[in-house]
Structure 1
Amino acid sequence: MNKVLTLTAAALLATSGLAIAQDSVIVEVPQRTRDYVIAHPADPVVIEGELSRGYVVPRNIVVRPIPESPGYGYIYVDGRPVIVSMDNRQVVYLDEPSGGVPDEVITYVERNPVDAVIVDGPVDAGTVIPEDVPLVAVPDQPRYSYVYLDNGRPALVDNGTRRVVWVR
């Protein structure tokens, strides 16, 4: 009976896209690989369940190759880049959402609206703001700038990546 339960559990895990490793290995993805993925966003894919390092991307999802890093490919999920090992389709890097934005930064952005800018397509957390869109600095917060979108929504942007980390 235990064998049947073990086999059933293994089959469920295999079809869910989850990977459980006995030895957790952290893969350090080269910065140039991460830069390529950020510079070449892809259409988003839908992943069922919790996405984390070690998750095995299902075979029905197309993983885009990274020319300069043949061992890696990538997808975008919820506007975030996800880098995958081409050997086993396991997630080795994902751009974690920037939770923990200080409340005073959001308060400042909401109390200091600026002229609206137009950005093509929907803007959500994870969207990269194009270089030609001017950003407004948040005083005393060198990490952040912001914009107001044409629909009146403020968006907080990480200065290092130009990626939206919060949007109302």
Structure 2
Amino acid sequence: MNKVLILTASALIATGGFALAQDKVIVEVPQPARDYVIAHPSDPVVIDGDLAEGYVVPQSVAVRPIPESPGYGYIYVDGRPVIVSLENRQVVYLSDSQDGPVPEDVITYVEQNPVDTVAIDEVTTGAVVPDDIDLAPVPSQPRYAYIYVDGAPALVDARTRRVVWVR
């Protein structure tokens, strides 16, 4: 009898642990959806509280749909792309970096179209380019602009003037 109770209790504990582990559903967002969101940034929104996977985006925040990925939408928060399940408005993908990966075609354009070198003390990812420095636009991606410092390209977020990539 004691063995039956112990086995039953063990089974209940094991099953309960399994159920708790299932509460967090891991969603693998398709790469084309992530690529689309990065290539089509939107105006930033302000979110109160800590933004993390599982966060429910308030109804007052407009979520843009991702055309080739039904069921997913996106917003930008603090320059970071955030992908949301349209079913329940939960965050299912939050970029670790401030700006996400830079599209290869943008890097190719910047490297194939050098501009005059500018003098800046420090150009590292995250640095802000001073307002008195002219930025060269990237025609196919208006989100980006660029400069050359010491003969090397630096890609800049055109809205914030923050450096997002340096060769």
**TM-score, length-scaled by structure 2:** 0.53
Deviations 1:39-92 (A, max 9, x none): 111111110010000000011111111110011001111111110001110000
In terms of Rg, which structure is larger?
2
Give matches, 1:126-137, under 5 Å: 128-130=143-145, 133-134=146-147
Distance in 2 (CA, whole Å) between partners of 1:74 and 1:149 is 19
Give matches, 1:85-124, under 5 Å: 85-97=85-97, 109=123, 116-118=133-135
Distance in 1 (CA, whole Å) between partners of 2:73 and 2:136 is 27
Aligned length: 114
Matched letter for residue 91 of structure 1: V
Distance in 2 (CA, whole Å) between partners of 1:137 and 1:71 is 46
Quick check: 1:53–1:93 contact (8 Å CA) kept in 2?
yes
Residue of structure 2 equivalent to 1:146: 154
Identity within the alignment, %: 57
Q: 1:149 to 1:61 in 2, by over 3 A?
A: closer
Residue of structure 1 equivalent to 2:164: 157
Q: Where has structure 1 moved over 4 Å in runs of 4 or more?
A: 134-139, 147-150
* Residue segments in structure 1 that go unaligned for 5+ positions in a row: 1-20, 99-106, 121-127, 140-144, 160-168
Distance in 1 (CA, whole Å) between partners of 2:50 and 2:67 is 28
Quick check: 2:156–2:164 contact (8 Å CA) kept in 1?
no
Quick check: 2:44–2:76 contact (8 Å CA) kept in 1?
yes
